[in-house]
Amino acid sequence: MALASAILVSGVVGCGPPPPPESRITIMQLEAPLTMDPADHTASLTMDVLDPMYECLVRFDQNLDVVPSLATKWSVDASGTKWTIELRKGVRFHDGTAFDAQAVVDSFNRLLDPDRGLAAASRVRAIVKLVTANGPNTVVFTLASSYASFPRVLAVTPIVSSRAEKQGKLARQAVGTGPYRFVEWKTGEYVLEERNEQYWGPLPAVKQLKWIWTSEPVLMNMSVLAGAADIVNPLPPIFAEALSRNRKVKTIAGEEARVFWVALNTKSKPLDDIRVRQALNYATDREALVRTQLRGFGTPANSPLAPADFAYDPQTRGYPYDPERARALLAKAGYGNGFAIKIAVQEADAQLVEALQGMWAQIHVDLKIDRMENGVFSQAIFGSPQQKAQQGIDCVFASWASDNTDPDYQLNPLYRSTEWSPGGANLGFYANPHLDVLLESAAAELNVEKRKALYREAQQTISDDAPHVLLYYARDIAAQHLGSVPIPVRLLPGGRVEFDASSPQMPVYGPTKVGQGP
């Protein structure tokens, strides 16, 4: 979301000549947008398409810190529950209506409306109790309880035109305040956006953005090579490795923001035994996985938080590869002769799980792979404990990237005992009352250092309990055709592409050696 205002500022510094005024860039993604309504989806690739057209009250800067966007300043009272936001004046939506406090109230109220059931509403609903306008340019948010990361929630909640919302247009037509305005969504082919000449900030250099998509990674690879697409995102590591040696193409890797893991069903035998779960962790050669599966575009994981997260603790003790120790733990737990478990995995990730199968076979664990098509998988992983028991699913392969790089949005939905699937994303039914208290306290703590300390403890607690086998942190990868419009590109956490012409020093990563950070 942040890119909305950061996007394509004219007068590019240090990255070649600025693009011609009539220029267009074509971005190819691996998935079509689901909607033009930013509140009715949770897909990062849909957000990519919408980002240039919408803005939030605040945004992330280059260092992923929160800076003003549609809001100019904000403050919080001592209780941490009342946030007062001053709005930017003179901003208009693409349909000509004024951006004001009422528009912000309307944008949040539709999220808070339980009858609307908008897909992206859950985060706001859990935090915000009331939104009121205090004059035309001030909004007051009353939270249910203190929530330190509230600005980070604001940074991923776009403000929409109240008029377009009332007209019921938003599913098909984006109406925001961003530097690009919606032109056309031809469902099977493209979304076209054009520079918003009335934009309140610096005008973008590129006139048109065209978003296209395919479900075939090999076509993305060919498209960026042929210049049929200026940017392709996301690119599988196997293509990225080859493209990084090609002079026509630049590969762009984001920060390590996506965590991959195997969620273990802590309610099913023998995974209810902590020693067994720890044994599986010790039996996993993460460095080999990074080398073979990610082609170096990532690092082994030691914590359930990703390095891109400000609260990530590199000192969290993980599980080094130690099959001997794994065997000893299994013997202690009474499973010296091994056992069989079933994992649910999407077809596209099956190769990774096959690698795990080989590793775990060394400790006599027979990992049976249930390859599933996307729709079947999404239903299976969100099964209740009873459903998973019926289907015999002992573990699932999953990943998560918090789009606002906030530890609460990474740890709360995945590990809190109130978030068991199908209601939440705690897929292995993990429960630790001490962790629940830690997560609740950390979310409310306004002091950054104290908050970090609480999350440090939470990371270690989760790691010790081993409700999962943490695998690695992957970098999202995009590629840019170098014959195209010369603008710097970077990837935001969650794999969203940002073309930010305001910064000449975009991080461009190639494959890294295993174990090294960026």
Partner 1 sequence: MRNYWLRKILALPLILLVASFLIFWAVRLLPGDPARLMAGMQADQKAVNAARTRLGLDKPFALQYEIFLRDALHGNLGISIRSHKPVAQEIAERFPYTLALATVSYSLAVGVGITAGILAAIYSGRKLDHLVMVAAISGASIANFWLALMAMNLFAVKLAWVPLLGANSWKSYILPAITLALLPGAVIARMCRGSMLEIIHQDYIRTARAKGLTTTRVYVRHALRNALIPIVTIVGMNFASLLGGAVITETVFNWPGLGRLMVDAVRYRDYATIQGITLLTVTLVIAVNFAVDVFIGMIDPRIRFD
Strand, helix or coil at 266? coil
Strand, helix or coil at 215? coil
Helices 448-465 and 433-444: crossing angle in degrees, nearest 10, is: 160
| The one among 116, 129, 269, 450 contacting partner 1 by CB under 8 A | 116
Decide whether 113 or 354 has the Cβ nearer to partner 1. 113
Helix or strand (DSSP H, E) at 186: strand 180-186
Binding part of the chain for partner 1, among 41-49, 129-137, 351-359, 509-517 by CB under 8 A, reads: 41-49
When computed from its CA atoms, the radius of gyration of the chain, rounded to whole angstroms, is 23
Decide whether 47 or 462 has the Cβ nearer to partner 1. 47
Question: Is residue 491 a contact residue for partner 1 (CB under 8 A)?
Answer: no
Binding part of the chain for partner 1, among 34-42, 282-290, 296-304, 361-369 by CB under 8 A, reads: 34-42
Question: Is residue 226 a contact residue for partner 1 (CB under 8 A)?
Answer: yes
Q: Cβ of residue 9: shortest distance to partner 1, in angstroms?
A: 29
380-419 positions binding partner 1, by CB under 8 A: 382, 400, 413
Tokens 């076509």 -> residue = 219
| The one among 43, 112, 140, 514 contacting partner 1 by CB under 8 A | 43
Binding part of the chain for partner 1, among 207-215, 230-238, 287-295, 437-445 by CB under 8 A, reads: 207-215
Q: Cβ of residue 195: shortest distance to partner 1, in angstroms?
A: 23
Q: Cβ of residue 32: shortest distance to partner 1, in angstroms?
A: 6
Strand, helix or coil at 223? helix
User: How far is the C-alpha of 467 from the C-alpha of 428, rounded, in Å?
Assistant: 7
How many CB atoms within 10 Å of residue 394? 26
Decide whether 231 or 363 has the Cβ nearer to partner 1. 231
Question: Is residue 218 a contact residue for partner 1 (CB under 8 A)?
Answer: yes
Q: Cβ of residue 36: shortest distance to partner 1, in angstroms?
A: 8
| The one among 11, 21, 135, 216 contacting partner 1 by CB under 8 A | 216
Decide whether 9 or 411 has the Cβ nearer to partner 1. 411
Question: Is residue 453 a contact residue for partner 1 (CB under 8 A)?
Answer: no
Decide whether 375 or 433 has the Cβ nearer to partner 1. 375
One character per residue 139-178, x = contact with partner 1 (rule: CB under 8 A): --------------------------------xx------
Tokens 């609260």 -> residue = 311
Decide whether 392 or 424 has the Cβ nearer to partner 1. 424
Nearest to 76 by CA among 154, 140, 155: 140
Tokens 């939104």 -> residue = 131
DSSP string, 29-75: ESS--S-S-TTS---HHHHHHHTTT---SEEE-TTS-EEESSEEEEE
Q: Where are the beta strands (DSSP E) in 322-384?
A: 339-346, 365-372
- Which letter, b or e, does each residue of 204-242 get, where b requires 16 or more Cβ atoms within 10 Å of its Cβ? bbbbbbbbbbbeebebbbebbbeeebbbbbbbbbebbbe
| The one among 183, 219, 350, 453 contacting partner 1 by CB under 8 A | 219
Read off the tokens for 329. 């733990």
Q: Cβ of residue 66: shortest distance to partner 1, in angstroms?
A: 21
CB 333 within 8 A of CB 270: yes
Give me the residues that bind partner 1 (CB under 8 A), please: 32, 34-35, 41-43, 114-122, 125, 171-172, 185-189, 212, 214-216, 218-219, 222-223, 225-226, 228-229, 373-376, 378-379, 382, 400, 413, 422-425
